[in-house]
Amino acid sequence: MTAANPGAVARSRPELVELLRSDIEAAGKITFARFMEQALTHPQYGYYTAGDAEPGFEGDFLTAPETHPVFGAVLARQLAECWERLDRPTPFVVREHGAGSGSLALTILAGLREERPDALAAIRYELGDVNDRRVAAGLSRATEAGFGDHVAAAGHDPIIGVILANELLDALPVHRLVVGNQEIREAFVCWRDGWFAEESGPVSDVRLMDPLIDLPLMAGQRLE
């Protein structure tokens, strides 16, 4: 992140920029995790929640479920095996986080219908996403495909089944740490020269250091 340039400003969402700038000016700086969280999932202006981000060949990004149903078919076989290993519970809940458009859910359910209808009969497939509109659209698509009795919006209760996520962890907010010669510092986001910039400072939460205790770190390394 450096000083503003016309291209960066043109591609930005002004309302989100103003919100982040206000947060930064109020606190002096914010963690990269906070910056990332707001940029991706702010209820009104976030990339994943404002309605702009759409997967697919014509969209911003493409994941395996949108390219070919074989990905879901392979996972369907694995889920059927999990169901067997858990002594065939009913319901057998598959809770997908970051379900998006529901493409993975549809291909998994179709694979079970084709090869393991006995497992399908026990399945309750729960779709979860930060964008409620996508969840509703995914449930509608599943119902139109004949899976209405097997799908629901994801809840928070304990389940017997499988937690599933595809390309989700890389979209979760992260803190950024920088290894120096004498200490580890955190990379924060500040506002400088009319745009976002990076500023280092003491680590915001000492718990961020716990996973690093046994790692052979070198000066100059950047960690997330």
34 CB-near residues (< 8 Å, 6+ apart)? 23, 173, 189
Say if residues 32 and 40 touch (Cβ distance below 8 Å). Answer: no
Question: According to CATH, what is the number of the domain 64-166?
Answer: 3.40.50.150
Start-to-end C-alpha separation, the chain: 16
| Count of alpha carbons within 13 angstroms of residue 72, beta-carbon side | 22
Q: What pLDDT is attached to residue 47?
A: 85
Q: How far apart are CA 131 and CA 150, in angstroms?
A: 21
Q: What pLDDT is attached to residue 101?
A: 84
Q: What pLDDT is attached to residue 89?
A: 98
Model confidence, pTM: 0.80
Domain ranges within the chain, ordered by starting residue:
6-48+173-223, 64-166
Q: What pLDDT is attached to residue 116?
A: 98
Q: What pLDDT is attached to residue 12?
A: 75
Say if residues 166 and 63 touch (Cβ distance below 8 Å). Answer: yes
Q: How far apart are CA 171 and CA 163, in angstroms?
A: 17
Q: What pLDDT is attached to residue 172?
A: 92
For β-strands 177-179 and 184-192, DSSP reports them as: antiparallel
Locate the DSSP E strands across the chain.
Answer: 30-31, 92-97, 123-128, 151-153, 161-165, 177-179, 184-192, 195-201, 222-223
Q: How far apart are CA 64 and CA 71, in angstroms?
A: 6
Say if residues 77 and 84 touch (Cβ distance below 8 Å). Answer: no
Which of these, 70, 72, 75, lies nearest to 102 by C-alpha position? 72
Q: How far apart are CA 77 and CA 73, in angstroms?
A: 7
pLDDT along the chain (224 residues), means of 10: 55 88 96 96 86 58 74 96 98 95 95 98 96 92 97 96 92 94 94 95 95 91 94
